[in-house]
Amino acid sequence: FLDEIKISYAGTTLQAKDGTNVQSFSQELVENTLPTVHVIPGKIEAEAFTTMDGIALENTTDIGGGQNIGYLGAGDYLIYDVKVLNSATYSVDYRHASLSGVNMQFIFTDTLGNYVTSFPSISLGATGGWQTWQTTNQPGGILSQGDYKLRLDVGSEFNLNWFEFIQGIGFTEQPNSRPIMLFPNPTSNALFIDGAWASGTALDIFIYDTTGKLWLREKHTYNGSKIQLGIHALPNGTFHVTAVSPSSRFTEQLIITR
């Protein structure tokens, strides 16, 4: 999708829709009518979404002109097609404006809509006006190389011009050599996690449901043996347990039956 495609024609049999013969041409650009796929790391214009609900566009007075998304409210959302080029940690620069502050969250699914991961929900302060623009950097998380649908869930009223994914520490994934283990699974009460991390590895463990809602976050230091997770507040259902270390991210499905 990043390639530039050109086409030439020197024949005599090609006709236009009106029946006239098409004249010869050389190296004409081919228009790509597929949805735009945004590259991460990189900047994404907020108005360049694939689908949305509850969003309006307006001309912006921000540097560079163009449009921003606005008239947002809690429950609105936008979806972008994205391609992550490098497995790495990422932070995000947000170009925002508001009178009352920003609340939003990024959720990543695969191309079929199955939940993969999400960044923590963010809250940003008011800027003093709907066209008073400010850039704020916030921590994101680890993304693995691949194709995703990025969902932006809106939690408050604000304007957004663009956001940019900034690559941090990269890593090489080895999904088959260092899996995580959850047991018992399915479970009704106790849950333990184990893996092949080095002793002393700092772990950040998240449990999300299939809609991307975060139910649990715990920080642990791996000491070479299983870690117990506090799942007493989780309801019946299917969840995703993600264990993040400074150099890796692994996710396994969890089923709770009470």
pLDDT at 177: 45
- Residue 146: partners with Cβ closer than 8 Å, 6 or more residues away: 83, 84, 110
Which residues lie closer than 8 Å to 109 by C-beta, 6 or more apart? 115, 116, 148, 149, 151
pLDDT digits (tens), the chain, 258 positions: 566 788 888 878 888 888 888 888 899 888 777 778 999 999 999 999 999 999 999 999 999 999 999 999 999 999 999 999 998 889 999 999 999 999 999 999 999 888 888 888 899 999 999 999 999 999 888 888 899 999 999 999 999 999 999 998 766 655 544 468 999 999 998 999 999 889 999 999 999 887 778 899 999 999 999 999 999 999 999 898 988 888 777 888 899 998
Domain with residues 37-170, CATH architecture: Sandwich (2.60)
In the prediction, which pLDDT does 257 show? 92
Label residues 104-118 b or e (16+ Cβ within 10 Å = b).
bbbbbbeeeeebbbb
Sheet holding 237-245, edge to edge: 214-221, 202-209, 237-245, 248-256
Q: How far apart are CA 254 and CA 192, in angstroms?
A: 11
In CATH terms, the superfamily for domain 181-256 is Macroglobulin (MG2) domain (2.60.40.1930)
- In angstroms, rounded to a whole number, what is the distance separating the alpha carbons of residues 142 and 117? 9
- What amino acid is encoded at 241 in this protein? V
Task: Give the model's pLDDT for residue 176.
Answer: 44
Query: What pLDDT does 2 receive?
Result: 60
35 vs 48: CA distance, rounded Å: 9
pLDDT at 5: 82
**Where are the domains positioned within the chain?**
37-170, 181-256
